[in-house]
Every structure is written in structure tokens, then in C-alpha cells.
């Protein structure tokens, strides 16, 4: 068992990019100074390039992968280390997929997983952020988040061979089921759950928790940790990220929409009406209570 994938998982618009910024600065710099290009060291798993590399193994099903039942038959094959094509002991991958099985075919497997960091965010703020990101209304965002059959298109990676009509899909389900799929099972791999709100309010403490997780669970020793943390705090401030995006652009932004827009907690208080807030709380109350989102 190679356990070669370390997942940075989250529901969309929950803080995964900030987590990638922290992890890439910890692992891939000497001094902790973050630059947007560092995010390339932690790519999104749901990229069609990862399918292109094994297209010969998929055969006649290649252009049927928009059928999620067919697609899930190949996910573990895509995740084999020789097919992901990296030489390091393990690699970080961002994912927004839920950790579900479809017709007994799982999204991933314990034998592949080195560890998982799951980032969770108040679903009321996720609602606002998803609406801003996708250009939909808050009501449409709530419909998106409460849909237990919700999925997203994979991103078009290098050598993309798909059109929108046959693009493979990443299965999200609803916000609460997505959270539960990664956090509520008795996995054999090390799991760290980080709240987006702690990354905002208690960023230094959160970074130390993340560093300690890698030290305690994997024996990884960070060089110049205190210096790195100081520089991470400076260079991953939200205003700094906005400036960098405006200056250099950011590939993950939607067309004509800024990716780093707010980065605040509790923005929902002044954005959502009472009916919208109630709908979210009624649908997600069990998981919200578990993670102390009152």
C-alpha cells in the first residue's frame, strides 16, 4: 500500500485555497513567503488532465464519463501513483468531491491516502461566497447547497479532450452530507479538521496546529518554522492575496469575477434574509450544531 495521496478536501468556497497557501508555504519554501504560483504545487485532482493520462485504459467508456456511475468505476485507477505520474513519496491534491461510493465504487481508498485535512466553513457564509463566485442569487446558492444529488464539472486541464456535454462530474451531494462523508467515518488515515473561521481569527494557532499534525502523525520536522509562520501570516493576508490577483491574475477565478473577494466570516448576517437563514439552519442543523455554528 503506497498511501501516496494527501487530500486537502472541502466543500467549494470553504477556504481550501487559503489552506493550500499555508501548506505550500510550509512545505515548498525555505522562508514561508507565499506567492500565487506556489499553488501550482498543490493541483486540483478533478482536472481532465488526470483522465487524459490514462485514456487508453478507459476504452469505449471514455466519452461516457459524464455518466457518474460509469465514471466512478475508474477513479481508483486514475489515483494509482504511476498514473498520477509523480516520483515523490506522496503528493498533495485539492479536492471538492465528497468521499462517497457510487454503486460500490468509492471516490478514493484508504490504501491511497496518506492523510486528509478537511476545511469546514459556516454554510451560511458558504452560501454567500458561492453566490458571489458563480454569479447566482442567494436562493439559487441555497438550492445548490441543499441538493443531495449536486455535482460539478471537472476542470478543463492540459490536453483536455472533453466538451461540456460529456465532461466528467465530481459528486458533492449537499453541504452536510459532504462534510459528513469526510469527517464522520472511522478512517484508518490521519485526519485533521480545520474551521475556516479559525484560519481567520486564530491564524497563527491554526498554522501551528497544522504543523504539529504533520510532526506528530508523520514525523515531519519543519525547518525555520517560526520564521515561516511570521512570513505566512504576512503574505497570506486577504488584502495581500487580492492585490496579487489584481496584479497577476488568478487562473481559478471565474471570468470577470474576482476570486479573493471578501474572505470574512459572518458576512451572511448582513446578506441573507430571515427565510434564507432559516432554510439553511433547518436543513443542516445536525452538522451545524456538531461544529458549533449557532
pLDDT tens readout for residues 57-90: 999 999 999 999 999 999 999 999 999 989 899 9
First to last CA, the chain: 41
pLDDT tens readout for residues 184-219: 877 889 999 999 999 999 999 999 999 999 999 999
* CA-to-CA dists, residue 287 to 16, 182, 195, angstroms: 19, 12, 13
Cell numbers linked to 52: 487524459
Dist CA 217 CA 212 (whole Å)? 8
pLDDT tens readout for residues 82-129: 999 898 999 999 999 999 999 999 999 999 999 999 999 999 999 999
Residue 29 has pLDDT above 60, yes or no: yes
Q: What is the mean pLDDT of residues 155-169?
A: 93
Domains with residue ranges and CATH for the chain: 5-123+149-246 (3.40.50.300)
* HEC sequence for 74-119: CHHHHCCHHHHCCCCCCEEEEECCCCCEECCEECCCHHHEEEEEEE
Dist CA 20 CA 226 (whole Å)? 19
Amino acid at each position: 500500500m503506497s498511501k501516496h495521496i494527501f487530500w486537502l478536501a472541502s466543500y467549494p468556497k470553504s477556504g481550501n485555497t487559503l489552506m493550500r497557501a499555508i501548506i505550500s508555504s510550509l512545505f515548498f519554501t525555505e522562508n514561508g513567503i507565499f506567492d500565487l504560483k506556489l499553488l501550482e504545487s498543490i493541483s486540483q485532482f478533478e482536472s481532465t488532465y488526470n483522465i487524459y493520462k490514462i485514456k487508453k485504459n478507459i476504452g469505449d467508456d471514455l466519452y461516457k464519463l459524464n455518466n457518474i456511475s460509469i465514471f466512478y468505476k475508474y477513479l481508483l485507477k486514475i489515483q494509482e501513483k504511476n498514473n498520477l505520474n509523480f516520483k515523490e513519496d506522496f503528493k498533495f491534491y485539492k479536492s471538492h468531491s465528497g468521499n462517497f461510493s457510487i454503486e460500490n465504487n468509492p471516490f478514493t481508498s484508504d490504501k491511497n491516502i496518506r492523510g486528509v485535512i478537511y476545511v469546514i466553513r459556516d454554510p451560511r457564509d458558504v452560501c454567500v461566497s458561492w453566490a458571489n463566485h458563480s454569479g447566482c442569487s442567494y436562493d439559487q446558492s441555497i438550492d445548490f447547497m441543499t441538493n443531495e444529488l449536486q455535482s460539478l464539472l471537472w476542470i478543463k486541464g492540459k490536453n483536455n479532450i472533453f466538451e461540456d456535454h460529456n465532461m466528467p462530474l465530481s459528486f458533492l451531494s449537499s453541504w452536510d452530507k459532504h462534510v459528513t462523508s469526510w469527517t464522520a467515518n472511522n478512517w484508518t488515515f490521519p485526519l485533521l479538521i480545520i474551521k475556516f473561521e479559525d484560519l481567520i481569527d486564530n491564524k497563527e494557532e491554526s498554522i501551528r496546529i497544522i504543523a504539529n499534525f504533520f510532526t506528530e502523525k508523520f514525523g515531519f520536522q519543519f525547518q525555520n518554522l517560526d520564521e515561516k509562520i511570521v512570513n505566512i501570516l504576512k503574505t497570506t493576508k486577504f488584502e495581500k492575496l487580492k492585490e496579487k490577483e489584481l496584479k497577476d491574475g488568478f487562473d481559478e477565478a471565474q471570468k470577470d469575477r474576482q476570486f479573493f473577494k471578501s474572505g470574512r466570516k459572518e458576512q451572511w448576517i448582513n446578506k441573507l434574509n430571515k427565510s434564507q437563514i432559516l432554510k439553511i439552519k433547518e436543513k443542516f442543523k445536525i452538522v451545524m450544531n456538531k461544529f458549533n455554528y449557532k
